[in-house]
Amino acid sequence: MRYRRLGPFGLTVSVIGLGCMGMSMSYGPPPGDRNDMIALIRAAVERGVTFFDTAEVYGPFANEELVGEALAPYRGRVVIATKFGFAFGSNGELLGLDSRPATIRRAVEGSLRRLRVDAIDLYYQHRVDPQVPIEEVAGTVADLIRDGKVKHFGLSEAAATTVRRAHAVCPVTAVQYEYSLWWRRPEAEILPLCEELGIGFVAYSPLGKGFLTGTIDETTPFAPGDIRTRIPRFTPEARRANQALVDRVREIAARRGATPAQIALAWLLAKRPWIVPIPGTRRLERLEENLGAVALDLAPEEVAALDRLSAEVPIVGERYPEDLERLTYR
């Protein structure tokens, strides 16, 4: 395993992390035996992974509990990132965005308890709440850092101007955005801002919610409750058109003796030395495949070829349904 530093404050993580959301939600019913997911998380640690991503809204709450139990034996050896920014009803039902200071302070106590830690390593605002000034959010997290409950501040899917305003109040260690060969919007403003301010970048959905693995085509069925049944670029017609991108990546992978997923991850790792992708999985063989990208160093001309390929193949369909896309880049 190799390691990278996120931000200017010494937060060092494995070059590939593990996104844990899918172990509890979004990709159909969660596995029947949660012990299988605990074993998978621990297998990741044994293979050198030190960076794990979760959020209170995943479940809600169940994913933090899962991650907390799985990583309890590895305190001091791993970095756990979680997220705040939503309100929940008395039965745990999601009520909507809420980043008011009192809500953040309640959220951090719940996350600390579920994760079984004394301090949260990296605490992201999950989505920007337009009802609460970002300076107020950043100030609240700064208080939590001073109180020893949080170590590092992060933002997820925020607009560049919002990141800059937050950073002026509480230095941002890392930001998180969707970024992959089929979603490159962060390159326009976010990556230059990270370069300027010294902020680390965490790439979620680096394999296009599974599409860039080459294992999904227009006939692939999705289970009830799978978020991809709502995503425009996963309709059968869109998948048929978008297959052209995977076919081209597969050709490059074959020349390198790699898989499409490994090429897609290696491309991200080659883009900047402070980018860390966090692919998710429920399967050990997929985890091991993804980690194989660590040893796959792409030459500059290969990165440039993938850049051109990605730009030349038009992607059909939006990355989110409209109601979810409205929550991003604010």
Taken in order 215, 60, 53, 195, is the CA torsion positive or negative? positive
* 58 among known catalytic residues: yes
Domain spans of the chain, in order of start: 3-208+262-296
Mean pLDDT over the full length of the chain: 97
How confident is the model over 184-239, as pLDDT tens digits? 999 999 999 999 999 999 999 999 999 999 999 999 999 999 999 999 999 999 99
Are 118 and 72 in contact by the 8 Å Cβ rule? The answer is no
Q: Are 4 and 36 contacting, i.e. CB atoms less than 8 angstroms apart?
A: no
Give the whole-number percent of the chain exceeding pLDDT 70.
100
Q: What is the model's pTM?
A: 0.98
β-bridge mates for residue 156, sequence order: 176
The Cα–Cα gap between 58 and 45 comes to: 21
Provide the pLDDT confidence category of residue 144 given band limits of 50, 70 and 90.
Answer: very high
What is the CATH code for 3-208+262-296?
A: 3.20.20.100
pLDDT tens digits along 1-16: 999 999 999 999 999 9
Per-residue pLDDT tens over the stretch 290-323: 999 999 999 999 999 999 999 999 999 999 999 9
H/E element holding 243? helix 236-256
Please check whether residue 158 is in contact with residue 130, taking contact to mean a CB–CB distance below 8 angstroms. no
Q: Given pLDDT bands bounded at 50, 70 and 90, which one contains residue 60? A: very high
Q: Which is the catalytic residue, given 3, 27, 58, 74? A: 58
Per-residue pLDDT, 194: 98
Q: How far is CA 58 from the centre of its chain?
A: 12
User: What pLDDT, on a 0 to 100 scale, did the predictor assign at position 112?
Assistant: 98
Beta strands 122-125; 79-84: pairing state: parallel
